[in-house]
Homo-oligomer: A and B are copies of this chain.
C-alpha cells in the first residue's frame, strides 16, 4: 500500500490538476486587473512570529518543527492572510496605502473539520490594506465575485454578517457580553430576551438581504447600527443582480477577528463555503493598528463539486514525424503527443486527433 495517503491529503491527477491551475490563474488574473499584485511568503516561518498574527485556533493547528539551523521552532502556515499582514506591516510598511496584494499557495493544518476535510489545500486571496471603508469593502467583494465568475462559477451567493455588532451597540454591560454572544450564536431567543430584549430583532433579521435590512432598519437601534446598515446597503447595491445576497447580522463563527464586516461566499452546487472575507486589523510593531479588508478562496471545494475541466484536444504524431512538423502544429495551438516507439497509439495516449497526410484527423 505504498500509494496510501494520510487522511485529509490527496493527489490531484490529470485532467483535474490542470483544471485547478487554470482556475487559479483566472482568479489571480481577475485580481491583477484591479491592481492586486502577488506576494509569495514562504511555507514556514518562526512559530512565535507567525502565531502572533494567527487566530488562536489556526495557531494550534499549525505543523511545528525544530529548525536545525536556527535551533528555533518553525511553523508551517495554516493560513496565508497572517503572512500578508506581516509583509504589509514590515517590508512593505512604507509602501503607499492602500496596498493591494494577492496571493496563492499551499496551507497545511493538523486537524480537519467535517465541513472541510482537507488538511492540505490551496488558499487564494486578496487583501486591501490601509482602508476598511465601504468603498474598500465594495472593491474587495467585487474582485471576489469577478474572480469566481472568471473561474466559471455560477449561482454565487454572499452571506453578510456584522461581527462586532454586539460590542458596537454597547447596550449590554461588558461582563454579560459573553453570555449574550452565546445566546445569539445559538439563535436562543429566550436567552437573548433575558439579557437584552433589544437584540431580539437581530436574530429575526437573518435571511434574504433586502428583507433583513428592512427589518433591522425598522428596529429601534441607533447610530452604530445605522452606519453599518448604510454601508451594507451600498455594498449590496454595487453587486451584479446575478449574486444572491443574505444577511445574518449576528453570525460570528469564524469571524472572531473581523471588525465591522464579514462575508461568506457560496456557489450553486457546492455544499460548502467556497470563500470568505471581511474587514480586520493589521498589527504593526509598537502596537499600531491599520484597517484592512480582504477575502480568501479555496480551490478544492469548487473542484470537488465537479467543475468541468476543459476538454482535451490532443494531436497524435505518428512514429517518425519530424520534430519541426510537430513544432508547427504546437504553434497553431495544438497539444502534440509524439509516438516514441512504433507501438504507441493515439487512443492509449487519449488523443482526439491523429496527424494524417492532410493534417489532423479525428480518431
Q: Smallest CB-CB separation from A74: which chain B residue?
A: B6
The answer to whether A40 and B20 touch (CB under 8 A), given A34-B335, A135-B341, is yes
Those of A94-123 within 8 Å (CB) of chain B: 96, 98, 100-101, 103-106, 108, 110-112, 119-120
Residues of B within 8 A of A8 (CB): 69
Residues of B within 8 A of A314 (CB): 35
A289 to B109, CA, bound (A): 35
Residues of B within 8 A of A344 (CB): 98
Residues of B within 8 A of A225 (CB): none
Partner of A340, one of B69, B89, B139, B330: B139
Residues of B within 8 A of A25 (CB): 25
Those of A36-55 within 8 Å (CB) of chain B: 37-46, 49, 52-53
Q: Please determine whether B39 and A111 come into contact, CB atoms closer than 8 angstroms.
A: no
Binary contact readout A326-359 vs B (1 if CB under 8 angstroms, 0 otherwise): 0000100011111011001000110000000000
The answer to whether A44 and B14 touch (CB under 8 A), given A330-B33, A335-B32, is no
Q: Does A18 make an interface contact (CB < 8 A)?
A: yes
Chain B CB within 10 A, most for which of A11, A91, A323, A349: A11
Those of A1-20 within 8 Å (CB) of chain B: 2-15, 17-18, 20
Chain B CB within 10 A, most for which of A12, A44, A83, A103: A44
Q: Please determine whether B2 and A90 come into contact, CB atoms closer than 8 angstroms.
A: yes
How many interface residues does chain A have, given as a range? 35 or more
Q: Does A233 make an interface contact (CB < 8 A)?
A: no
A348 to B119, CA, bound (A): 40
Stoichiometry, copies per complex: 2
Residues of B within 8 A of A38 (CB): 12, 14, 17-18, 21
User: Smallest CB–CB gap between A170 and chain B, Å?
Assistant: 28
The answer to whether A45 and B6 touch (CB under 8 A), given A238-B323, A335-B32, is yes
Binary contact readout A222-246 vs B (1 if CB under 8 angstroms, 0 otherwise): 0000000000000000100000000
Interface segment, one of A59-67, A155-163, A211-219, A250-258? A59-67
Residues of B within 8 A of A11 (CB): 39-42, 83, 87, 91
Q: Does A133 make an interface contact (CB < 8 A)?
A: yes
Known: A3-B86, A6-B46, A43-B108. 6 other contacts (CB 8 A): A3-B89, A6-B74, A7-B70, A11-B42, A13-B39, A135-B340
A-B contact pairs, 26 of them (CB 8 A): A2-B52, A2-B90, A2-B285, A3-B86, A6-B74, A8-B69, A11-B41, A14-B38, A17-B37, A17-B38, A17-B39, A18-B32, A20-B40, A33-B335, A34-B335, A43-B108, A43-B120, A63-B65, A63-B76, A68-B111, A69-B112, A69-B119, A100-B337, A133-B341, A136-B340, A238-B323
Residues of A at under 8 Å CB distance from B? 2-15, 17-18, 20-21, 25, 28, 32-35, 37-46, 49, 52-53, 63-65, 67-70, 72, 74, 76, 83, 86-87, 89-92, 96, 98, 100-101, 103-106, 108, 110-112, 119-120, 131, 133, 135-136, 139, 142, 238, 285, 314, 323, 330, 334-338, 340-341, 344, 348-349
